[in-house]
A and B are shown apart, each in its own frame.
Chain A
């Protein structure tokens, strides 16, 4: 027995006379030494929460019942009487309220209770909108950096990395190695999600994977702490837990769900071979349609050129005809052409003479003919007919 707690090591326990508090202290010291913590499985009864913080309940079987005390922070989610629970705790004798077990960890046990606990939690979180489609964000495709949360020793990790690298290159994976089942798993997983969210340059996507297992093995991914961490992740999340038929609450809260870890890798990156084939088809189509468009454009251009050529030729012909018409008209109006028919231009003192009234007898006049000219003197004046 530990003597540092102030109790003497008795040689004969029956000879000791103890006060009540001393007895409680001695018993707790004995319990600390013999049973620092115990794991008890039993049916939940008289479950109640006080002041939204303190939790009281009993675990019972056919022959016995034990009281438990804890806080709401110990709860994996909503519980109800009748569930089978597995509780780890410290047995204590309270100096006023008697014996109870102080809860360290609490989990539903047995497939039925695990499913029932998940159902209750799903209803509660759905009421808060954690699974709403409107909350879902898109995941970058393909991502350049993946934050991976899983167990490094697991087959799920090996499958994911193998499929991812077989399909696509150049994606970096940052792994946070966590336990994916057991008592410490929920806190480790939630903490890993927070770590990625708090990075100065977070990854493009946080991927949480785990292979198949029993309902109890997978139960960490349906706890309240993990489901809330997934829902509140700053980075878009992809969760793949178990096999096709398994559906955890973390998957419901995730931005994207994959049926298996390998399927998660398939959803994250395209298949390189398939992409290369598509690119080949695309290049062929591009070449064919490109050449066809160029030929079409060339034909259109040639046609337009011919139209333009015809229009220009027509305009030039019209202009040529107009000039030719004007030249003929001008020639018809040429005063010299009239002279060739025998007419003459008579000028006196530099001015053309239109009337005999412009002249006087003896005046000198210049007469211009079609060919040459001569000067003459006016002998007599004949007034125009009808004038006085």
Chain B
């Protein structure tokens, strides 16, 4: 993100960084959703065992 904010950044380089940033945000979003699902699954399993 700091590279993307640099003043002398080439516009084509900025486009590449932006694209890469979008990919990372998407991956993180998926990772977070997986983590949330895992937590929900564990809670359900624990409550079932109760």
Assess the B29–A326 pair: CB atoms within 8 A. Answer: no
The chain A residue sitting closest to B17, CB to CB, is: A333
Determine whether A345 belongs to the interface, using a CB cutoff of 8 Å to chain B: yes
Using a CB-CB cutoff of 8 Å, which residues 1-50 of chain B contact chain A?
1, 4-5, 10-12, 14-15, 18, 21-22, 25, 28-29, 32, 35-36, 39, 43, 46, 50
Give bound CA distance, A335 to B25, whole Å: 17
Whether the Cβ atoms of A335 and B15 lie closer than 8 Å is: yes
Tell me if A309 is interfacial: C-beta within 8 Å of chain B.
yes
State the majority secondary structure of interface residues on B: helix
Closest to B5 in A: A333
B15, B25, B29, B43: which contacts A330 (Cβ < 8 A)? B25
A323 interface neighbour in B1, B11, B15, B28, Cβ under 8 Å: B28
Let me know if A345 and B1 touch, CB within 8 A: no
Kindly identify which residue among A316, A329, A352 contacts B1, using a CB–CB cutoff of 8 Å.
A329
Q: A309 touching B43 by the CB < 8 A rule?
A: yes
Chain B residues near A329 (CB-CB < 8 A): 1
Write the nearest CB–CB distance from B22 to chain A, whole angstroms. Answer: 7
Please measure, in the bound complex, the distance between the C-alpha atom of A36 and the C-alpha atom of B27, giving whole angstroms. 121
With A305-B46, A312-B39, A334-B18 already in contact, the answer to whether A326 and B25 are too (CB < 8 A) is yes
Q: How far is the CA of A333 from the CA of B3 in the complex (A)?
A: 11
Determine chain A's interface SS by DSSP, over half rule: helix
Q: How far is the CB of A15 from chain B (nearest CB, A)?
A: 123
Residue of B nearest to A338 (CB): B11
A327 to B25 CA separation, bound complex (whole angstroms): 7
**Would A326 and B10 be within 8 Å (CB), given that A305-B46, A335-B18 are in contact?**
no
The answer to whether A326 touches B36 (Cβ under 8 A) is no
Residue A320 interfacial (CB < 8 Å): yes
B11 touches which one: A302, A319, A345 (CB < 8 A)? Answer: A345
A326-B27 Cα distance, complex, nearest whole Å: 13
Is A330 in contact with B1, judged by CB distance below 8 angstroms? yes
Which B residues lie within 8 Å of A327 (CB)? 25
Contact A330 B28 (CB under 8 A): no
The answer to whether B22 and A352 have CB atoms under 8 Å apart is: no
Instruction: Name the distance in Å between A318's Cβ and chain B's nearest Cβ.
Output: 10
Least Cβ distance of A301 to chain B in Å?
9
**Alpha-carbon distance A323/B31, docked complex (angstroms):** 11
User: Quick check: A323 and B25 within 8 Å, CB to CB?
Assistant: yes
Q: How far is the CA of A319 from the CA of B27 in the complex (A)?
A: 13
> Are B18 and A316 touching (Cβ within 8 A)?
no
Chain A residues engaging chain B, CB cutoff 8 angstroms? 302, 305, 309, 312-313, 316, 319-320, 323, 326-327, 329-330, 333-336, 345, 352
Residues of B within 8 A of A (CB): 1, 4-5, 10-12, 14-15, 18, 21-22, 25, 28-29, 32, 35-36, 39, 43, 46, 50
Which 5 residue pairs across A and B have the least CB separation, nearest first?
A330-B21, A333-B4, A335-B14, A352-B11, A323-B28
